[in-house]
Amino acid sequence: MKLTEEVGSWASCLRRKVGAIIVRDNRVMTTGYNGAPTGIKSCTERGECLREKLKIASGTHAELCYAAHAEQNALIQAAKYGVNINGATLYCTHQPCVICAKMIVNAGIVRVVYKEGYPDEFSMRLFEEAGTVVEKFTENEENS
């Protein structure tokens, strides 16, 4: 989880720093952090958060943001570079939203470990229905 938090520190989001790491067979396969797509100015570069400017509540209207989520970026990196993540574990600093949950399930991720909560109960219902193991990280957990 320490590595996940370090990756999250690279985020270009002003509102929340989120990191994600996909691990398979005890190896880091890909990493991701929340930030603008290649060639798009980030909120840091713009000097303002679009979501704050529009007064959008956390956990709602994820599409109204310049950044892609950390989980999305980790999944995209796997696709871009042909990295097999089927059966992997995704470690994330924050509980995934419903959009990320759908992508995680479809990518074949079988376990999600997160540290901080996020106001999206529907994502947890989808994980449960899909049979994805979801665990809240605790500081004394081994092999983090």
Q: Which residues are catalytic?
A: 71
CA-nearest of 81, 130, 82, 138 to 104 is: 130
What kind and span of H or E run contains 28? strand 27-33
CB-CB contact of 60 with 123 (8 Å)? no
Tokens 């529907």 locate to: 122
Find the DSSP H helices in the chain: 2-8, 43-46, 50-53, 70-81, 98-106, 121-130
CA distance linking residue 48 with residue 34, whole number of Å:
15
